[in-house]
Chains A and B, each alone.
Chain A
Amino acid sequence: MRPVLLFVGVALLIAAPFGLKPYGIYLLSLWAVMTIAAIGLNLTLGYAGQISLAQASFVGIGAYTAALLTTQGWPLGAAFALAALLCFVVGWLLGYPALRVAHHYLAFVTLSFATLVFLILRNEEWLTKGVYGISGIPRPALLGWSTKAPQDFYFFCLGVLALASIAAWWLLRSPWGRAFTALRENPIRASSLGIDTRRYTLMAFAIGSALGGVAGVLYAPLVQFIEPTAFTPGLSFNLLLMVIVGGAGRFFGPFLGAAVSVLLPEWLRFSEGLYLMLYAVFVMILLAFFPSGLLGLAERLRTSWPRSSKSAS
């Protein structure tokens, strides 16, 4: 069943941009970019249980790395490597507070970091051009394939999303994935079983942050103009929403969560001025009744289906 669903999903994603207008393709590309960032946050929060409200900062660091390098003639590949490394190191350092505090205390530590990064992006004009932003960010060409057109860039984003997903799948299927789950569920017991909770906590932050950086590197050439307000803590809350709505700690949760966050408000535009209100009500109802997110809801329906059909027969 699962491989069939996966195949159908991939086929739909490949077929989706055909027949869509540029704005529709832009939204699909944005979905792919945000999904990558949410996969990173899902690793840190959903699997390893470390709350982070700083994911927007890593998207910002990635985006500015790409903007600064590619407008100077560097290839986007260099931006991917540098942003991932930079975010990995910064994420590792941000993980240290998590060794001392947890839950809402950690949330505020990471929120403070997100505010700090936003202020740096806004105030350090010599580096980031401050509120004027950076424009003219080029889209890459790969072995003669130009991704300037919206559809081409969408497929480029989809390819990066596929690579990021495979890497995350590999990681979570390895013993590291089990260690992350143990870290989330019971760090004291995990430690008594020889699991170096300190190192895994830092790794969860570092890898999740690196994926945020990768998303940022894609975001810059997608919008082709970046400025600091795109990376306020508001984006961190939005990414958190994607993880929770999709289903924290579930592999495909970020895919669904990003779809809800990026695409649903657009689909609700038929209601004109009410669309954001409808979106807010949807999220409230979903989380009030199904706190394990859309995938949790799907799992509940799947497990209750045979029971109800048995009792009916």
Chain B
Amino acid sequence: MAALLEVRELRKSFGGIGAVNGVSFAVHAGEILGLIGPNGSGKSTLFNCILGQLAPSSGEVRIDGRPIGGMRPCDLNRLGIGRTFQLLQVFPQLSVRENLLLAGQEHEGGMWSRLFGPRDAGLSAAANRMIDFFRLAALAEERAGALSYGQQKLLDVAMAFMAGPRLVLLDEPAGGVNPTMLGGLRERLKAINETGRSTFVVIEHNMEFVMSLCTRILVLAEGRIIAEGAPEAIRNDRAVIEAYLGT
């Protein structure tokens, strides 16, 4: 069976400087793959190349064995590929509920049916479920811009799941989230993975979070994969320790 996501020899250079230097890996349905590495190792660039926000210099990305090179981010999203960004990307002028409706509306019907159909695009029930699941009920009608950073981060993650994606690429979901919320976020991601069989690729600097969430970890340094394996093996890998500590 073809891997859900397959990256083959992906390279991306900026003015002769290689940010991603021939990365290959595969992600299978149901996995939670962690992608770690020091700052500047090419993790976010790799995400952006996979998701069509940057054009790779060479290499190939496949979803279900099908090349997706040249596809726009919106088309990839409709294929069931969601993402979050390193920096918060909610819509501050819209309410929490409207952010969630927005995140799902383009997956329902055509453009004209959205114009003449209901204002909630038939997604109120799904939005309510997501609001409850991420414990945002008390804030549902608040403007997203008025929420705390941690609450906005939860909303950001919730938006990525609104359309029921098969694969979600999460860029530092734990960044800036307080320890209390972090445990809740991890449990929710695990629950979605187990019950929804949604597959994740997670970039994260919080080692405790990534080790307890992921089933497999790739380590990137200077745009190359330097280690791959189970969390426990990665924790004790000499090359990984050297990449992080520079010894």
Contact = CB atoms under 8 A, between A and B. Distances in A.
A194 B106 contact: yes
A266 interface: no
A178 B73 contact: no
B115 A174 contact: yes
B102 interface: yes
Contact of A195 (B53, B92, B106, B117): B106
B163 interface: yes
A181 B93 contact: yes
A171 interface: yes
Contacts of A196: 72, 74, 106, 111
B105 A178 contact: yes
B49 to A, nearest CB: 14
Given A195-B106, A196-B106, A189 B114 contact: no
A124 interface: no
B101 A175 contact: yes
Interface string B131-142: 000000000000
A174 B119 contact: yes
Contact of A178 (B51, B74, B83, B98): B98
Nearest to A189: B89
A175 B91 contact: no
Given A175-B114, A175-B117, A199-B111, A191 B73 contact: yes
Interface in B108-155: 111, 114-117, 119, 121
A194 B107 contact: yes
Interface in A155-203: 171, 173-176, 178-179, 181-182, 185-186, 188-199
Interface in B152-203: 159, 163
Interface string B86-100: 000111111000100
A35 B104 CA distance: 34
Q: Looking at chain A's contact residues, is the secondary structure mostly helix, strand, loop, or mixed?
A: helix
A182 B74 CA distance: 13
Given A175-B119, A175-B121, A179-B105, A189 B74 contact: no
A190 B159 CA distance: 11
A192 B73 contact: yes
Contacts of A176: 111, 114-115
5 contacts: A179-B106, A181-B91, A191-B73, A192-B82, A194-B107
Rank and list the top 7 A-B pairs by shortest CB-CB distance, nearest first: A194-B106, A194-B77, A189-B89, A191-B73, A175-B114, A175-B105, A178-B102
Interface of B: 51, 53, 72-74, 77-78, 82-83, 85, 89-94, 98, 101-103, 105-107, 111, 114-117, 119, 121, 159, 163
Given A178-B102, A189-B91, 13 more contacts: A173-B119, A174-B119, A175-B115, A176-B114, A179-B106, A181-B93, A188-B73, A188-B89, A191-B74, A192-B51, A192-B85, A192-B89, A196-B72
